[in-house]
Protein backbone atom coordinates (compact mmCIF):
# COMPACT_ATOMS: atom_id res chain seq x y z
CA UNK A 1 0.00 0.00 0.00
CA UNK A 2 1.43 3.37 -1.00
CA UNK A 3 1.51 5.52 2.11
CA UNK A 4 -0.14 8.93 1.47
CA UNK A 5 2.93 10.67 2.93
CA UNK A 6 5.11 8.85 0.39
CA UNK A 7 2.70 9.80 -2.39
CA UNK A 8 3.02 13.46 -1.38
CA UNK A 9 6.78 13.22 -1.88
CA UNK A 10 6.48 12.11 -5.49
CA UNK A 11 7.34 14.90 -7.91
CA UNK A 12 4.36 16.25 -9.86
CA UNK A 13 1.04 14.51 -9.88
CA UNK A 14 0.76 10.74 -10.14
CA UNK A 15 0.58 9.31 -13.62
CA UNK A 16 -3.05 8.22 -14.23
CA UNK A 17 -1.98 4.64 -14.97
CA UNK A 18 0.04 4.46 -11.74
CA UNK A 19 -2.83 6.03 -9.79
CA UNK A 20 -5.19 3.40 -11.22
CA UNK A 21 -2.74 0.62 -10.36
CA UNK A 22 -2.37 1.92 -6.80
CA UNK A 23 -6.17 2.08 -6.41
CA UNK A 24 -6.68 -1.49 -7.59
CA UNK A 25 -3.72 -2.91 -5.68
CA UNK A 26 -4.72 -1.31 -2.38
CA UNK A 27 -8.39 -2.25 -2.76
CA UNK A 28 -7.54 -5.88 -3.52
CA UNK A 29 -5.05 -6.05 -0.67
CA UNK A 30 -7.43 -4.55 1.88
CA UNK A 31 -10.44 -6.67 0.90
CA UNK A 32 -8.71 -10.00 0.35
CA UNK A 33 -6.44 -9.81 3.40
CA UNK A 34 -9.32 -8.79 5.67
CA UNK A 35 -11.49 -11.59 4.31
CA UNK A 36 -8.66 -14.10 4.76
CA UNK A 37 -7.87 -13.06 8.33
CA UNK A 38 -11.44 -13.24 9.67
CA UNK A 39 -10.26 -11.03 12.55
CA UNK A 40 -13.10 -8.86 13.95
CA UNK A 41 -10.61 -6.19 15.06
CA UNK A 42 -9.25 -5.87 11.52
CA UNK A 43 -12.80 -5.57 10.17
CA UNK A 44 -13.64 -2.92 12.76
CA UNK A 45 -10.52 -0.91 11.88
CA UNK A 46 -11.41 -1.06 8.18
CA UNK A 47 -15.02 -0.03 8.80
CA UNK A 48 -13.67 3.00 10.69
CA UNK A 49 -10.94 3.72 8.14
CA UNK A 50 -12.21 7.23 7.34
CA UNK A 51 -12.46 8.12 11.03
CA UNK A 52 -8.89 6.96 11.60
CA UNK A 53 -7.19 8.16 8.43
CA UNK A 54 -9.50 10.87 7.11
CA UNK A 55 -11.70 11.03 4.04
CA UNK A 56 -8.91 12.76 2.07
CA UNK A 57 -6.62 9.76 2.45
CA UNK A 58 -9.30 7.34 1.23
CA UNK A 59 -10.22 9.76 -1.57
CA UNK A 60 -6.58 9.92 -2.62
CA UNK A 61 -6.56 6.15 -3.02
CA UNK A 62 -9.95 5.36 -4.55
CA UNK A 63 -12.05 8.39 -5.53
CA UNK A 64 -10.86 8.44 -9.16
CA UNK A 65 -11.51 4.74 -9.71
CA UNK A 66 -14.25 3.75 -12.14
CA UNK A 67 -17.53 2.86 -10.41
CA UNK A 68 -17.55 -0.71 -11.76
CA UNK A 69 -14.28 -1.56 -10.02
CA UNK A 70 -13.45 -2.75 -6.52
CA UNK A 71 -11.80 0.56 -5.50
CA UNK A 72 -14.70 2.50 -7.04
CA UNK A 73 -17.24 0.46 -5.09
CA UNK A 74 -15.26 0.84 -1.86
CA UNK A 75 -15.07 4.60 -2.36
CA UNK A 76 -18.86 4.81 -2.76
CA UNK A 77 -19.44 2.73 0.37
CA UNK A 78 -17.09 4.87 2.46
CA UNK A 79 -18.66 8.11 1.21
CA UNK A 80 -22.13 6.73 2.02
CA UNK A 81 -21.02 5.71 5.51
CA UNK A 82 -19.41 9.09 6.10
CA UNK A 83 -22.61 10.90 5.07
CA UNK A 84 -24.63 8.71 7.45
CA UNK A 85 -22.10 9.29 10.23
CA UNK A 86 -22.06 13.07 9.78
CA UNK A 87 -25.76 13.68 9.15
CA UNK A 88 -27.80 10.75 10.48
CA UNK A 89 -30.93 12.86 11.05
CA UNK A 90 -31.21 13.94 7.41
CA UNK A 91 -30.47 10.42 6.19
CA UNK A 92 -33.11 9.01 8.55
CA UNK A 93 -35.68 11.58 7.36
CA UNK A 94 -35.01 10.76 3.70
CA UNK A 95 -35.20 7.05 4.46
CA UNK A 96 -38.55 7.46 6.22
CA UNK A 97 -39.91 9.51 3.31
CA UNK A 98 -38.84 6.94 0.71
CA UNK A 99 -39.30 3.58 2.38
CA UNK A 100 -43.02 3.11 1.73
CA UNK A 101 -42.49 3.55 -2.01
CA UNK A 102 -39.74 0.90 -2.10
CA UNK A 103 -40.83 -2.21 -0.14
CA UNK A 104 -38.48 -4.59 -1.95
CA UNK A 105 -35.51 -2.33 -1.32
CA UNK A 106 -36.55 -1.99 2.31
CA UNK A 107 -36.31 -5.77 2.71
CA UNK A 108 -32.85 -5.85 1.09
CA UNK A 109 -31.48 -2.85 3.02
CA UNK A 110 -32.59 -4.37 6.32
CA UNK A 111 -33.19 -1.22 8.38
CA UNK A 112 -35.76 -1.57 11.20
CA UNK A 113 -39.03 0.30 10.95
CA UNK A 114 -39.34 3.08 11.93
CA UNK A 115 -35.63 3.78 11.57
CA UNK A 116 -33.71 5.90 14.03
CA UNK A 117 -30.41 7.68 13.36
CA UNK A 118 -28.68 4.84 15.22
CA UNK A 119 -30.34 2.30 12.90
CA UNK A 120 -29.02 3.99 9.76
CA UNK A 121 -25.53 4.25 11.32
CA UNK A 122 -25.68 0.53 12.13
CA UNK A 123 -26.65 -0.27 8.54
CA UNK A 124 -23.70 1.71 7.17
CA UNK A 125 -21.32 -0.15 9.50
CA UNK A 126 -22.92 -3.52 8.71
CA UNK A 127 -22.54 -2.93 4.98
CA UNK A 128 -18.82 -2.26 5.29
CA UNK A 129 -18.41 -5.18 7.70
CA UNK A 130 -20.05 -7.36 5.05
CA UNK A 131 -17.44 -6.27 2.51
CA UNK A 132 -14.64 -7.54 4.72
CA UNK A 133 -16.25 -10.46 6.56
CA UNK A 134 -19.39 -11.54 4.72
CA UNK A 135 -20.86 -11.81 1.26
CA UNK A 136 -19.47 -8.78 -0.55
CA UNK A 137 -22.17 -8.88 -3.24
CA UNK A 138 -24.90 -8.83 -0.58
CA UNK A 139 -23.20 -5.89 1.14
CA UNK A 140 -23.14 -3.97 -2.15
CA UNK A 141 -26.80 -4.81 -2.81
CA UNK A 142 -27.82 -3.65 0.68
CA UNK A 143 -26.04 -0.35 0.10
CA UNK A 144 -27.68 -0.03 -3.33
CA UNK A 145 -31.15 -0.61 -1.87
CA UNK A 146 -30.43 1.91 0.87
CA UNK A 147 -29.41 4.46 -1.79
CA UNK A 148 -32.57 3.78 -3.81
CA UNK A 149 -34.75 4.41 -0.75
CA UNK A 150 -32.81 7.60 0.05
CA UNK A 151 -33.17 8.75 -3.57
CA UNK A 152 -36.93 8.25 -3.40
CA UNK A 153 -37.10 10.11 -0.09
CA UNK A 154 -35.01 12.97 -1.46
CA UNK A 155 -37.31 13.25 -4.49
CA UNK A 156 -40.40 13.37 -2.25
CA UNK A 157 -38.69 15.95 -0.02
CA UNK A 158 -37.83 18.04 -3.10
CA UNK A 159 -41.46 17.95 -4.26
CA UNK A 160 -42.67 19.09 -0.84
CA UNK A 161 -40.22 22.03 -0.79
CA UNK A 162 -40.55 23.15 -4.39
CA UNK A 163 -42.84 26.12 -3.74
CA UNK A 164 -41.12 27.41 -0.59
CA UNK A 165 -37.53 26.77 -1.69
CA UNK A 166 -37.17 26.11 -5.45
CA UNK A 167 -33.35 26.17 -5.39
CA UNK A 168 -33.20 23.80 -2.43
CA UNK A 169 -35.69 21.52 -4.17
CA UNK A 170 -33.53 21.55 -7.28
CA UNK A 171 -30.45 20.59 -5.24
CA UNK A 172 -32.37 17.75 -3.62
CA UNK A 173 -33.55 16.52 -7.02
CA UNK A 174 -29.94 16.44 -8.24
CA UNK A 175 -28.97 14.63 -5.03
CA UNK A 176 -31.72 12.06 -5.63
CA UNK A 177 -30.40 11.51 -9.14
CA UNK A 178 -26.85 11.04 -7.81
CA UNK A 179 -28.08 8.52 -5.23
CA UNK A 180 -29.94 6.58 -7.89
CA UNK A 181 -26.82 6.47 -10.07
CA UNK A 182 -24.77 5.28 -7.07
CA UNK A 183 -27.33 2.53 -6.42
CA UNK A 184 -27.06 1.35 -10.03
CA UNK A 185 -23.26 1.39 -9.85
CA UNK A 186 -23.27 -0.66 -6.64
CA UNK A 187 -25.71 -3.16 -8.16
CA UNK A 188 -23.44 -3.60 -11.19
CA UNK A 189 -20.44 -4.04 -8.87
CA UNK A 190 -22.35 -6.75 -6.96
CA UNK A 191 -23.02 -8.59 -10.23
CA UNK A 192 -19.37 -8.30 -11.18
CA UNK A 193 -18.25 -9.69 -7.81
CA UNK A 194 -20.55 -12.70 -8.26
CA UNK A 195 -19.11 -13.25 -11.73
CA UNK A 196 -15.56 -13.02 -10.36
CA UNK A 197 -14.93 -9.89 -12.40
CA UNK A 198 -14.83 -7.11 -9.78
CA UNK A 199 -11.23 -5.90 -9.76
Number of folded domains in the chain?
Answer: 1
146 within some domain: yes
Each residue's pLDDT, cut to its tens digit, for the chain (199 residues) gives: 445 555 555 444 567 888 899 999 999 999 999 999 889 999 999 999 999 999 999 999 999 999 999 999 999 999 999 999 999 999 999 999 999 998 889 999 999 988 999 999 999 999 999 999 999 999 999 999 999 999 999 999 999 999 999 999 999 999 999 999 999 999 999 999 999 999 9
4 within some domain: no
199 within some domain: no
6 within some domain: no
- Residue 155 belongs to domain spanning: 14-194
172 within some domain: yes
CA distance 160 to 23: 41
Question: At residue 133, what are phi and psi to the nearest 5 degrees?
Answer: -145, 30
Residue 154: burial class (beta carbons within 10 Å; 0-12, 13-18, 19+): buried
Q: Report DSSP state, residue 61.
A: H
Tell me the residue ranges of DSSP E strands in the chain.
none
∠55-157-121 over CA atoms, to 5°?
40
60 within some domain: yes
What Cα–Cα distance (Å) separates residue 128 from each residue in 81, 88, 183?
8, 17, 15
9 within some domain: no
| pTM to 2 decimal places | 0.89
8 within some domain: no
Amino acid sequence: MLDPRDADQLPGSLDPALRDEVAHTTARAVVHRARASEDPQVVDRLVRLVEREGLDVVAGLWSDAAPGTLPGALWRLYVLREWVRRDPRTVTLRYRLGVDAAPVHEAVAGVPRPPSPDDVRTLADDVLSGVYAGDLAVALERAASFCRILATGAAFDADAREVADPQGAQRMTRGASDLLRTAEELERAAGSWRAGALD
